[in-house]
Structure 1
Amino acid sequence: MRKSIILIASILSVFFLIRTNSKGKQITNHLKGIVKNTISKPSYINESGDSISTRVRVPEGFKRVTYPQGSFEEYLRNYKLKKYGTPIINFDGSEYFAQHWHDAILEIPVPKNGLQQCADALMRIRAEYLWNKNLQHKIGFKFTSGHYCSWKQYAEGYRPKINGSKVKFLKTTNANYSKSNFYNYLNLIFTYAGTASLHAELPKVKIKDLKIGDMLIQPGFPGHIEIIADEIMNDKGEKMYLLVQGNTPAQNVCLLKNFEDIDISPWYRFAENEPVYTPSYYFDKPVFIRFK
């Protein structure tokens, strides 16, 4: 017992020293989650589950919202996971300092170049879905400058010539439609796009209209963004969601616990004009956006 008390006290001490929200205020609600996580396991986690839908159980009275087979929503819901307990690893091979935030690690490689940060990881998920569905012509994102850069354009050999906020696309190389060149394209997107460009480019979504694939965003440099990876509903029409994030520094993409409402963790509820607390970020005025 004494060891448990010392362990909890140590965790809380470290947490107070290193974790603050975006305004410099300590997110004290996380302490509840850390303490409970130290003394008990979440009740909605199936440790043997190898996908989001099989790792996280549905609370009594709720059912998963149905989406068409092959849809982006089903793609996210059934995303493959690493073995339960896998730690979050940074792009340089080091372990991230906070290993108590997640209930799952998604099977998304983390490039060693450090470019695949929070928004980048979600753009990669979207782009890979379109690639796998043979919808490569729909792959494209705007730079922070507002200039649209499509995979089709890049594959044809066009490259951006950037001068401050001015961008021109010039054909400078032979066409290359290979998968390896696709990842070269994504590295370019990771360099010149992010939360600010996604916030400016994509349509906003009201809380009542949320679905899998919508993203909770705080634009900025770096800002932060998280994506809804599952959705459930009860007979009253009440909904709950799962959140997934990449992060800065570039690291494994993970499914987040809910320290604000630990009784339903990792599920989240959202309400209009209500702030959203997640383990690594505090969204004071939550805004949701949707891929086109």
Structure 2
Amino acid sequence: MMKKYIISLTIIVILFLIFRNTSKGKMVTNHIKSVVSNVVTDADYINTKGDSISTRVIVPKGYSRVKYAVGSFQEYLRHYRLKPYGSKIINYDDSEYFAQDWHDAILEVPVPSNGLQQCADALMRIRSEYLWEKNKKDKIGFNFTSGHYCSWIKYAEGFRPKIKGNKVTFYKTASPNHSKANFYTYLNLIYTYAGTMSMHNELKKIQVKDVRIGDMLVKPGSPGHIEIVVDEIQNADGDRMYLLAQGNTPAQNVCLLKNFENTKFSPWYRFDKNEPVYTPSYYFDKAIFVRFK
């Protein structure tokens, strides 16, 4: 609030000086545009030609990207492919999302037309596709909100859940099918019965000081919300900043979020213990993070 007050007062003072020293309307208008631009525009950390997270977002002076092992989930996210700059957020039904000023990038994550792939689901998909690509298929699995674990391997072997209230039992009712098409059918099942609440309950909680790429900022609930850290930088003093991406409801493109609370470093974010986190689409009253297994 104080920052906005100072900016407004600065603009008023400069406009007064402009009007006092010129009476030409066109010149005044041009001066006003220049003044407003110079006062409210912060550093630009976006390379519009970048086609991945690491090439789209520029590192602020004094910072460098935290190094991770080649082939790690962290490097997978950091180099995730992006749609061309300026691409819009499109909902599962091909309509445009109402808010098109929240993001600096759209990740190349397909959006099924069934509407199931919402905020938590999109992140589970990204994680599952990474494990699939790294031939770690036996590690693909998630808890339902009921707490029952559903693995891809068992699903591929033909086991299906029978759900009655909060009780879930698995029976072998289908022929084995380890195909990629069946993998996405499995994910649709996960999208239906898992979400922010199950992820919050299932996954390890991470302290703010230990957050790394791949960790997720979560508010459990119905609806809750969840966003994932997709890049991380550090300066010589050990101060760290991060990038956040999200899926959303309705099911839509996964996007890299701007930071409206700290436009000086947007889209980079800082997190503080016990402090809320404001993102364009959601307010997290606490910085609670979880980590995939």
- TM tier, smaller: 0.7 to 0.9
Tell me the alpha carbon deviations over residues 209-251 of structure 1, each in whole angstroms, 9 at most, x when there is no partner: 0100000000011200000000000000000000000000000
Aligned residue number for residue 60 of structure 2: 59
**Which digits, 9 at most, give the CA deviation of each residue in 1:28-83, with x for residues without a partner?**
xxxxxxx98xx858610000000000000000000000000000000000000000
Deviation at 1:278, TM superposition (A): 0.1
Taking a change above 3 Å as real, the CA distance of residues 282 and 192 of structure 1, as seen in their structure-2 partners, is same
For 1:261-291, what per-residue CA distance to the aligned partner results, in whole angstroms no more than 9, with x for missing partners?
Answer: 0000000000101100000000011210000
Q: Give secondary structure in 1 for the equivalent of 2:104.
A: strand
Q: Distance in 2 between matches of 1:235 and 1:50?
A: 28
- Report the 3-state secondary structure (helix = DSSP H, G, I; strand = E; otherwise coil) of the residue aligned with 2:47: coil
**Contact (CA 8 Å) 2:42, 2:264: kept in 1 or not?**
no
Q: Cα distance 1:103–1:42, how it changes in 2: closer, same or farther (>3 A)?
A: farther
Larger Rg: 2
Superposition pairs of residues 112-191 of structure 1, within 5 angstroms: 112-191=113-192
After superposition, what is the alpha-carbon deviation per residue over 1:95-142, rounded to whole angstroms, capped at 9, x for unaligned? 000000000000000000000000000000000000000000000000
Structure 2 residue matching 1:90: 3-state secondary structure: coil
Aligned to 2:92: 91
RMSD in angstroms over aligned alpha carbons? 1.2
Match of 2:7 in 1: none
Q: Distance in 1 between matches of 2:43 and 2:153?
A: 44
Q: Does 1:288 align with 2:285?
A: no
Match of residue 45 from structure 1: 46
Cα distance in 2 for partners of 1:144, 1:263 equals 39
Gaps of 5+ in 2: 1-35
Aligned to 1:203: 204
Q: Distance in 2 between matches of 1:120 and 1:182?
A: 14
Does 1:220 pair with 2:234? Answer: no
Distance 1:42 1:85 in 2: 19
In the alignment, the residues of structure 2 paired with residue 41 and residue 51 of structure 1 have an alpha-carbon distance, to the nearest angstrom, of: 23
Q: Secondary structure at the match of 1:191?
A: helix
Q: How many Å separate the matches in 1 of 2:136 and 2:41? A: 44
CA distance in 1, matches of 2:208, 2:41: 32
Rounded to whole Å, the distance in 2 between the matches of 1:64 and 1:193 is: 33
Does residue 249 (structure 1) correspond to residue 223 (structure 2)? The answer is: no
For 1:40 and 1:171, locate their aligned partners in 2 and report how far apart those are by CA, in whole Å. Answer: 60
1:75 aligns with 2:46: no
1:245-284 equivalences in 2 (<5 Å): 245-284=246-285
1:60 partner letter: K
Q: How many pairs align?
A: 256
Distance 2:251 2:43 in 1: 27
CA distance in 1, matches of 2:242, 2:41: 22
* TM-score (structure 1 length as normaliser): 0.86
Confirm or deny: 8 A CA contact 2:271 2:287 kept in the other structure. Answer: no
2:246/2:256 contact within 8 Å kept = yes
Matched residues in 1 for 2:287 and 2:167: separation? 31
Structure 1 Cα separation of the partners of residues 198 and 261 of structure 2: 29
1:12 maps to what in 2?
A: none
Aligned residue type for 2:148: H
Secondary structure at 1:169's aligned position in 2? strand
TM-score computed with the length of structure 2 as normaliser: 0.86
User: Following the alignment from structure 1 to structure 2, what is the Cα–Cα distance between the partners of residues 41 and 116?
Assistant: 34
- Alpha-carbon distance in structure 1 between the residues aligned to 2:59 and 2:43: 12
* Structure 1 alignment gaps of length 5 or more: 1-34
AA at the equivalent of 2:108: E
The amino acid across from 2:156 in the alignment is A
